[in-house]
């Protein structure tokens, strides 16, 4: 009975506590297994498919993490934090008020480009008009890059919400954003059973009231229909203020800024940092307004952080 192996999907994480559900449940399976990783060997994320070895009726250990299509995570010089694995799409939630961080927006776009994940921006609280123009202005460089931007009001405009359903159906999307932008409101509008599911996860994970630091996987409502035989899901991640990308190398950074790509290799110096050098093709691109000054500034900041992390980690193995 016990000590059998099965394939499962990681559906909730809170610190090092995880819940996984069987991919092809048998009648005798529990709805969730409490999952432990053996030591620090496995860094798992919600959305991961796992090979489990059961240890009791509702507990199991992770044998393997099945190959991922992608892993969204953030990192600084010392630590990394997984957000979600195997996602089709990032839904970045921004609001008119309180104002959002343009820096976080820029970093989310780079993380998405690097992992090859589609990015969709949801500008929420457009019922609050005072800061709407300012928000649109901050979004202009991203609109220019072809990233889809949807203006919505999770609280007051149901049509704006339901018109997004076709973009979610059949896909696994992860909600990211600073706290206060309206992620929970969105989730509860789209998935009416979300708060009940959250309570169930919290009891099993024993999160107490620290529910907002957990990451969770919710199936989309069956009424939205399947696409390619899949219902799709929404992953809710904790709000965060920092989005470190110290794990990206210089070359990875250059390629994640998609509008830089046509200029790469055209600078006068082969080791050009695109910050001040004469004959820099990318700085020329900025002066010809093909590249936004915001983006070159972000590039320089990320490059600085990446180099700093390389230096720091020479004495640290823990990244
Ligand atoms: N005016 C307005 N307020 C909203 C809207 N969506 C969410 N809020 C409010 O913004 C606050 C933060 O929302 P919440 O969903 O908790 O944000 P989260 O921290 O990103 O999960 C709450 O007081 C919500 O009621 C909206 O569309 N319009
Ligand atoms: Mg929330
Ligand atoms: Zn250059």
- What HEC string does 6-68 produce? EEEEEEEEECCEEEEEECCCCCCCCCCEEEECCCCCCCCCCCCEEEEEEEECCEEEEEEECCC
Are residue 58 and residue 108 in the same domain, yes or no?
A: no
Given 178, 213, 236, the domain boundary residue is 236
Q: How far is the CA of 147 from the centre of ligand 3 (A)?
A: 25
Q: What are 220-231's pLDDT values in tens digits? A: 999 999 998 999
* Cβ pair 218, 194 in contact under 8 A: yes
- pLDDT at site 318: 42
Ligand nearest to the CA of 268: 3
pLDDT class for 207, splitting at 50, 70, 90? low
**More confident call, 214 vs 74:** 74
Cis ω for the linkage preceding 98 (within 30 of 0): yes
Is residue 119 in some structural domain?
yes
Say if 12 falls within a structural domain. yes
Q: Which domain holds residue 34?
A: 5-65
Mean pLDDT for 96-119 is 96
CA of 305 to the centre of ligand 2 (A): 29
Nearest to 36 by CA among 56, 26, 28, 24: 56
Structural domain ending residue among the three candidates 209, 236, 263: 236
Q: Are residues 181 and 55 in the same domain?
A: no
Quote the CA–CA distance of 105 and 93 in Å, as a whole number: 9
| Residue in 100, 95, 150 with CA at minimum distance from that of residue 121 | 150
CATH number of the domain that residue 261 is part of: 1.10.40
For residues 34 and 94, membership in a common domain is answered with no
What mean pLDDT, rounded, does the chain reach? Answer: 91
9 and 124 share one domain: no
Average pLDDT over residues 55-68: 95
State the total domains in the chain: 3
Is the domain of 173 the same as that of 280?
Answer: no
Identify which of 111, 222, 114, 113 has the alpha carbon closest to the alpha carbon of residue 176.
111
Residues 59 and 91 in one domain: no
pLDDT tens-digit readout, 131-154: 999 999 999 999 999 999 999 999
Does the residue 245 lie in any domain?
no
Residues 114, 178 within the same domain: yes
Q: Are residues 143 and 121 in the same domain?
A: yes
Confidence of residue 317 (pLDDT cuts 50, 70, 90): very low
Residue 172 contacts residue 88 (beta carbons within 8 Å): yes
Q: Please name the residue that has the structure tokens 């953030």.
A: 74
The residue with greater pLDDT, 207 or 253, is 253
Q: How far apart are CA 280 and CA 261, in angstroms?
A: 13
Looking at the structure, do residues 116 and 158 belong to the same domain, yes or no?
yes
pLDDT at 319: 39
> Is residue 126 domain-resident?
yes
Counting Cβ atoms within 10 Å, is residue 316 exposed (0-12), middle (13-18) or buried (19+)?
A: exposed
Which atom from ligand 1 is nearest to the alpha carbon of 93? 20
Pair 127, 156: CB distance under 8 Å: yes
Task: Read off the CATH number of the domain in which 32 is found.
Answer: 2.40.50.140
Q: Which of residues 186, 209, 236 is at a domain's end? A: 236
Q: Are residues 183 and 264 in the same domain?
A: no
316 pLDDT exceeds 70?
A: no
What band does 75 get if pLDDT is binned at 50, 70 and 90? confident
Does residue 242 belong to any structural domain of this protein? no
Report whether residue 181 contacts ligand 1, using a CB cutoff of 6 Å: yes
pTM: 0.92
Among the listed residues 23, 42, 41, the one whose alpha carbon sits nearest the alpha carbon of residue 33: 23
Q: Is residue 244 part of a domain?
A: no
Shared domain for 218 and 89, answered yes or no, is yes
Q: Which residues surround ligand 2, an ion (CB under 5 A)?
A: 183-184
Given a cut of 90, is residue 269 above it in pLDDT? yes
Q: Does ligand 1 lie within 6 Å of residue 198's CB atom?
A: no
Q: How confident is the model at residue 314 (pLDDT cuts 50, 70, 90)?
A: low
Q: What is the CATH number for 95?
A: 3.40.50.300
Indicate whether 82 belongs to any domain: yes
CA distance 83 to 94: 18
Asked if residue 284 and residue 162 are part of one domain, the reply reads no
Ligand 2 centroid, distance to 86 Cα (angstroms): 22
Contacts of 272 (CB under 8 A, 6+ apart): 280, 282
Atom of ligand 1 nearest to the CA of 185: 15
Q: Is the CB of 125 under 6 A from ligand 1?
A: yes
Please indicate, yes or no, if residue 54 is contained in any of the structural domains: yes
């Amino acid at each position: 009975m016990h000590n059998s192996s099965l394939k499962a999907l990681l559906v909730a994480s809170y610190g090092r506590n995880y819940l996984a559900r069987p991919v092809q449940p048998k009648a005798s399976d529990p709805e969730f297994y409490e999952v432990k990783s053996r030591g620090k060997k496995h860094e798992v994320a919600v959305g991961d498919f796992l090979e489990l070895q059961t240890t009791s009726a509702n507990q199991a250990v992770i044998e393997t993490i099945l190959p991922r299509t992608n892993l969204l995570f953030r990192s600084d010089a010392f630590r990394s934090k997984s957000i979600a694995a195997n996602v089709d799409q990032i839904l970045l939630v921004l609001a008119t008020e309180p104002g959002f961080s343009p820096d976080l927006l820029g970093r989310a776009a780079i993380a998405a480009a690097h992992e090859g994940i589609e990015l969709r921006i949801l500008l929420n609280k457009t019922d609050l008009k005072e800061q709407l123009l300012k928000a649109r202005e901050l979004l202009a460089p991203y609109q220019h890059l072809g990233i889809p931007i949807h203006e919505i009001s999770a609280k007051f405009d149901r049509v704006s919400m339901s018109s997004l359903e076709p973009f979610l159906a059949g896909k696994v999307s992860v909600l990211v954003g600073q706290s206060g932008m309206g992620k929970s409101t969105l989730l509860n509008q789209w998935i009416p059973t979300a708060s009940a599911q959250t309570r169930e996860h919290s009891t099993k994970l024993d999160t107490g009231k620290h529910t907002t630091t957990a990451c969770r996987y919710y199936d989309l409502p069956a009424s939205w229909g399947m696409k390619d035989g899949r219902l799709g899901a929404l992953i809710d991640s904790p709000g965060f203020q920092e989005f470190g990308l110290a794990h990206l190398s210089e070359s990875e950074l250059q390629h994640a800024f998609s509008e830089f790509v046509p200029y790469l290799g055209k600078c006068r110096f082969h080791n050009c940092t695109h910050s001040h050098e004469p004959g820099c093709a990318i700085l020329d691109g900025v002066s010809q307004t093909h590249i936004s000054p915001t983006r070159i500034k972000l590039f320089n900041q990320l490059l600085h952080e990446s180099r700093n992390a390389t230096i720091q980690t020479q004495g640290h193995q823990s990244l």
